[in-house]
């Protein structure tokens, strides 16, 4: 009897300590291929943000975290014209990270969002219809829950983290496009 109880305790301890594996939906290369179809050349660029650029991005985004000082992004070009700019943003949702691709159109509005990885329970991941609210959205006051973006019951932390990430990317793009010193072209 004692051995069964001990075995049950061991099994429960192992299961309680095991973390669910991260759910990876797309690789970075797959996400870039979705963002930039055949016929579009993709160039990886890097920008080194100053402290002032980081603070300006944080201010424009109205979100708590400024971007890292080192930023990589991808510019898609077809026939000599920019067709979009893609940024990858990794952020904390509740306690675990999520990575998304945010594709911006040439005007600087959201064109597409793709979830690459999500380490929280999948119950906290909004359905694709929720992400469909973003295309065409610029950085403005409507880009927030209960204004231009509908909330999702049971996924409030995910939706807030995603909106913060999209706002941060839009603000970062605006700062980089403004030709601040130190921004890579």
Q: pTM, whole model, 2 decimals?
A: 0.84
The mean predicted confidence, pLDDT, of the chain is 86
**82 pLDDT exceeds 60?**
yes
**6 found inside a domain:** no
The reply to whether 183 falls in a domain is no
User: What tokens appear for 32 in the block?
Assistant: 């870039």
What pLDDT, on the 0 to 100 scale, is given for residue 178?
86
Domain presence at residue 131: yes
What tokens does 37 get? 């179809």
Query: Strand locations in 26-165, DSSP E?
Result: 41-48, 70-78, 81-92, 97-104, 110-118
Where does residue 133 rank: exposed (0-12), middle (13-18), buried (19+ CB within 10 A)? middle
The domain tally of the chain equals 1
Give the C-alpha separation, 148 to 51, whole Å: 31
Q: What is the pLDDT of residues 14-70, one digit of tens each?
A: 344 445 556 999 999 999 999 998 899 999 999 999 999 999 999 999 987 788 999
Would 15 be classed as within a structural domain? no
Residue 7 falls inside a structural domain: no
83 found inside a domain = yes
Per-residue pLDDT band at 154 (split at 50, 70, 90): confident
Dihedral angle at the C-alpha atoms of 143, 113, 40, 57, nearest 10 degrees? 50
The answer to whether residue 2 sits within a structural domain is: no
Structural domain span for residue 113: 20-177
């Amino acid at each position: 009897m004692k051995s069964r109880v001990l075995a049950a305790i061991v099994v429960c301890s192992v299961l309680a300590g095991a973390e669910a594996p991260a759910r990876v939906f797309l690789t970075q290369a797959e996400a870039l291929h979705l963002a930039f179809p055949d016929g579009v050349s993709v160039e990886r660029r890097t920008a080194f943000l100053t402290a002032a650029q980081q603070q300006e991005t944080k201010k424009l985004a109205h979100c708590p975290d400024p971007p890292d000082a080192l930023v990589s992004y991808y510019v898609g070009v077809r026939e000599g014209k920019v067709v979009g700019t893609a940024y990858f943003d990794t952020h904390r949702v509740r306690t675990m990270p999520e990575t998304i691709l945010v594709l911006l159109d040439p005007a600087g509005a959201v064109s597409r969002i793709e979830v690459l990885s999500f380490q929280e329970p999948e119950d906290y991941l909004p359905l694709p219809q929720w992400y469909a609210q973003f295309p065409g959205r610029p950085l403005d006051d409507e880009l927030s829950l209960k204004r231009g973006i509908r909330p999702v019951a049971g996924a409030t932390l995910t939706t807030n983290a995603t909106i913060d990430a999209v706002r941060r990317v839009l603000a970062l793009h605006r700062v980089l496009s403004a030709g601040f010193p130190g921004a890579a072209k």
